[in-house]
Structure 1
Amino acid sequence: MELTFPFEHGVSVQWMHASHAHIPSQNLRRWLLDTGSLTERLQECCDTFSLTRLGQGEVPLYANEKRWLPTASQKSWQIREVVLYGDGAPWVFARSVLPETLITSELANLGTQPLGVRLFNDDRFIRSNFELCEVPASAFDFSNRQIEQSDGPQQTMLWGRRSRFHMGNDYIIVAEIFLPDAPAYKNG
């Protein structure tokens, strides 16, 4: 399935602490709160994993991103947006806020490599707790799609999570929205 949204698509939503979220299924809860590498977990669910980089560049940060970065006003930032695919289906939209200092050093030449490969293979990066959100599916051009939930009627909301990684004085925000075909919405 080909996605139609351009860079910078964004995820300007209200984030909430994970403890305040009413997550509709245990499977979705496990996906949202898993502290391991999302990339590795997705790879285990498919035969063919791929990543499409929608874009990367200097664009304005959302207010909620600025508030979550202790040094937002003191640094230059780049936004990187990608879609992670499993067996050709779009599973996850990800938006990362990256400091220029890491783009030119530890995170240089990411290209179409998943950011998680670098973050989870470097013990210097420490992850925060998760914040969660709900996003209308229509925000991702899936307005005619329905997601089946194990505990009730169909709905058109997608779930997302974000966390902050830090290494020394550098911070990264990684926000991930589970798209309708993601394994997070499957039963079991």
Structure 2
Amino acid sequence: MYEPGSLTQRLRRHSNDFCVRVLAEAVLRPLTPDQAALLHTEQGYCREVLLLCDGVPWVYATSLYSSATQAALPALGGLGSRALGELMFEAPDLQRTPFELARLDSRAYHRLAARAGLTTAAPATGPWARRSALSTGLARVLVTELFLPASAPYQETVS
């Protein structure tokens, strides 16, 4: 959970077939007060994805960024099925804020699972999520990653 490097690279090491399934890309407004403070804006762009290893969803992730970040890093708008980590971790000046960790309660997990089309049951203790901001130059992206029960990183946290 606390590994500072690229989650994409870590997932690739655990998988023969890693892929990104885009669930949604949209303008999000208003942002929550803490999101607005971290991104220095009242509205942002939101990208929701599932990260799959060998066809199994391991991570549900969201990325939020401002129009200023979109202008500074135009490739964000055309990621398609490319992982955000592949873009951000190419930057030599990449900085990451410390991780914030939380467990999702079962009600929130069921709402998210329905939205993402997941059929796995929520674990009894609720899955772990982490959040941090990635910055390079003028670009700042707030990333939240929810480790789903099938994922190796999730299994490592409960064992």
Give the structure-1-normalised TM-score.
0.70
Q: Residue 37 of structure 2 aligns with which residue?
A: 67
With over 3 angstroms needed to count, the CA separation of the structure-2 counterparts of 1:117 and 1:93, relative to structure 1, is: same
Residue identity opposite 1:176 in structure 2:
E
Identify the match of residue 143 of structure 2 among 171, 174, 179: 174
1:88 and 2:55 aligned:
yes
Q: Which protein is bigger by CA-based radius of gyration? A: 1
With over 3 angstroms needed to count, the CA separation of the structure-2 counterparts of 1:181 and 1:103, relative to structure 1, is: same
Name the one with the larger helix percent.
2
Cα distance between partner residues in 2 of 1:50 and 1:120: 17
Structure 1 residues 5-84: aligned runs within 5 Å: 32-60=1-29, 61-69=31-39, 71-73=40-42, 77-84=44-51
Give the 3-state SS of the residue equivalent to 1:145 in structure 2: coil
With over 3 angstroms needed to count, the CA separation of the structure-2 counterparts of 1:145 and 1:98, relative to structure 1, is: same
Tell me how far 1:105 sits from its aligned partner.
Answer: 4.6
Cα distance between partner residues in 2 of 1:56 and 1:146: 25
Q: Residue 110 of structure 2 aligns with which residue?
A: 138
With over 3 angstroms needed to count, the CA separation of the structure-2 counterparts of 1:41 and 1:163, relative to structure 1, is: same
With over 3 angstroms needed to count, the CA separation of the structure-2 counterparts of 1:52 and 1:41, relative to structure 1, is: same
Give the structure-2-normalised TM-score.
0.81
CA-based RMSD: 2.1
Give the 3-state SS of the residue equivalent to 2:81 in structure 1: coil
With over 3 angstroms needed to count, the CA separation of the structure-2 counterparts of 1:62 and 1:44, relative to structure 1, is: same
C-alpha contact 2:91 2:136 (8 A) present in aligned 1: no
Cα distance between partner residues in 1 of 2:103 and 2:122: 14
Unaligned 5+ runs, structure 2 = none
With over 3 angstroms needed to count, the CA separation of the structure-2 counterparts of 1:139 and 1:161, relative to structure 1, is: same
Cα distance between partner residues in 2 of 1:185 and 1:105: 34
Give the 3-state SS of the residue equivalent to 2:104 in structure 1: strand
Q: What number of residue pairs does the alignment pair up?
A: 147
